[in-house]
A and B are shown apart, each in its own frame.
Chain A
């Protein structure tokens, strides 16, 4: 689905560069990109989306080279949810906002189809079509942005710190929605996230970056358990992983646990087995 072949990129103004990135992300995966600020995470996802073109190497999405694909063609394949929804929202009503992205990608002649898809999304997100996006709360605006990103049914969904500035409930609502999409529709999700709890709860694979290079690539639990790697990337694993690590023994390998009670139950299960 996504294939980076020795991709390097450097900003002309000097900024963070990424170098020699090589990875493959298959269809239906839920991948998190981790690293401290300035590690090159956002640059990497922008390279996947084709917003940035590699200075060397190739980035292929669905077999198409991002450097050679037209903007509208690429937007059909890849949806990008930015950290700040206010940079995206430009219409007076939620309905128009959702339809805007559809018109840009499908063309204005598909008005019937656009209306049907907009209705579908309004129902899915429980929005009133005539609501003004800018009068909504931050979390709701993020949902409007998500709805309009998903409208074109992209095969790949990129999330750049999607939960920043959201409260727990808003964050859960957005992430649960994305999880369902990933599980039922097989949408490939690539997420940049600083909240390790969210990463542990939703992502299945993690790419760890530092200084513009890929440090590690593997299942989330294994990545979090590797204390030397975490330290090298200046990351702190979720508390539950830290507790499991401290307790050691059966607890340290209770991989599926997301809560304390889950950890105890999993350890007990392991002991019985």
Chain B
């Protein structure tokens, strides 16, 4: 999980692409996934996601994200199949509509989550923020909020690990099989995490202020984010994905 949102350096077309184009491409995949109900289109989008991972030289990472998501998807699939009772009964309580809807939901989840994780593999978070400010005219404070949230995920994971260790040392049994006991253990985890997060927020704010946070404008960025041929191709692919999703019944 720690490495999930980590940037992997490289020089692929996807690495060189304008961060805004990458956001556009990601959003287009998501929009296309929500517009279509066709399982084949969803499957195509999933293959497209994985191909993007391969093109970015992060094939292993893309597949490991896919593997991680697959477990959640399987659980979701079973739930959907059990709860949807419409359509023709195939066997036991399983219906054809239940199976199709469950497959669509799971595929959609995979299609949407993969590019969101992949974009962070090929783009540095600071580049996303700077490009958003420069190209999309997003106020820096908002872009900063987004990047800080992403950047803090591994730190939260580490903090959580440390807190669990501290509580385990005091005799809190996290490996207990009793569900109610487990629920009761959430509190000793949440309180320290919340307090440390609030403290960290204060420290981050101070650190940002002393480095001239309020003086930052669109012109402050040193790096310029231009549009090239790769970006044009990505825009065209984005449009094609959405149009395809709408037109293919």
Interface of A with B (CB < 8 Å)? Answer: 13, 46, 49, 51, 70-72, 74-76, 78-80, 82, 84, 86-91, 100-101, 104-105, 134, 148-149, 152
Contact = CB atoms under 8 A, between A and B. Distances in A.
Contact of A148 (B165, B170, B172, B199): B170
Contact of A72 (B2, B159, B173, B187): B173
Given A13-B2, A51-B165, A82-B166, A88 B172 contact: no
B205 interface: no
Nearest to A149: B170
Interface in B176-195: 187-189, 191-192, 195
Contacts of B172: 71, 104
9 interchain residue pairs of minimum CB distance: A75-B171, A104-B171, A80-B169, A90-B188, A90-B191, A87-B166, A105-B171, A88-B166, A101-B170
A75 B169 contact: yes
B66 to A, nearest CB: 21
Contacts of A87: 159, 162-163, 165-166, 192, 196
Given A89-B192, A91-B191, A82 B173 contact: no
Contacts of A84: 162, 166
Interface of B: 2, 159, 162-163, 165-175, 187-189, 191-192, 195-196, 199
Contacts of A46: 165
Contacts of B187: 90
A89 B191 CA distance: 8
Contacts of A88: 163, 166-167, 170, 192
Contacts of B188: 90, 100
Nearest to A81: B169
A57 B162 CA distance: 25
Nearest to A151: B170
Contacts of A74: 171
Nearest to B188: A90
Contact of B192 (A49, A86, A101): A86
A76 B171 contact: yes
B171 A101 contact: yes
A151 B187 CA distance: 21
A75 B170 contact: yes
Nearest to B185: A104
Nearest to A76: B171
Nearest to A70: B173
A104 B167 CA distance: 10
8 contacts: A51-B168, A71-B171, A72-B171, A78-B169, A80-B166, A88-B166, A89-B191, A104-B171
A49 B167 contact: no
A229 to B, nearest CB: 31
Contacts of A86: 192, 195-196, 199
